Amino acid sequence: MKKPLTIVKIGGNVIDNSEQLHYFLEDFSALPGDKILVHGGGKVATELGVSMGVEAKMVDGRRITDIHTLRIVTMAYAGLINKNIVAQLQARYCNAIGLTGADGNTIKAVKRPVKTIDYGFVGDLDEHSIAVDTISSLLNAKLVPVFCAITHDGDTQLLNTNADTIASAIAVAMSAAYDTTLIYCFEKKGVLRDVDDESSILSEIRLDEFAALQESGVISGGMIPKLHNAFEAIKSGVKEVYIGHADELLKQGAQQGTRLTQ
């Protein structure tokens, strides 16, 4: 029987709120069993860029990463944010280890080819990207990996990779050895039918409903790649996927948030 493994992705809006991040990390520390945390950076990287004269450019919720932006997101994600999270987890007796994909060669990406849009130094993942044995060895050593959204190509180049994509790829890759549950935590209580109405939570979304909800505009912006990655994970062996508020991490699956199903 496979051991359970929980992969949690935390959104930038939670990271930006020190009080909310504090309570989230309390709950994450209390999660039983093996676990992995994945984070991006959100406004921290954007504000750092503005202070350095580099304005963020976004297309469909994805950041365009030129060489100047890559330096900024590496500083923000792999440095300031990652080490702050690790230090806070250590204070809660959660023995975390902060990682980029380059560390231990844990996540190897390929620079996204230019098609209609040049995303710059952005890394895409495939079924061979995740070093399952290395991550398993960290878990077996009772360490809690904390991954930021920086990967590498194996040839000296760091790459900015969507944190939702990283969380999904890790969940899929680890599902061969673990019963994996993937949880996306952000500032909303789940996927909302009306973004201005917190009570309009969609408690469940089936794969066959996703396209219609996207076409009608209910799902838009950064939620599109988030749900796309989630459904790809389900189709590829992940046991469960939830999307919900960071404050309700310990309640996912208990009528909280949005559950995604086939």
Q: Please indicate if the annotation marks 11 as binding a ligand.
A: no
CA distance 122 to 64: 8
- Is 41 annotated as ligand-binding? yes
Establish whether 160 is an annotated binding residue: yes
Distance, CA of 16 to CA of 45 (rounded, Å): 10
- Is residue 42 marked as binding? yes
Are 185 and 14 in contact by the 8 Å Cβ rule? The answer is yes
Phi, psi of 75 (to 5 degrees): -60, -45
- For strand 158-160 and strand 178-186, is the pairing parallel, antiparallel, or unpaired? unpaired
Annotated binding site for substrate: 41-42, 63, 160
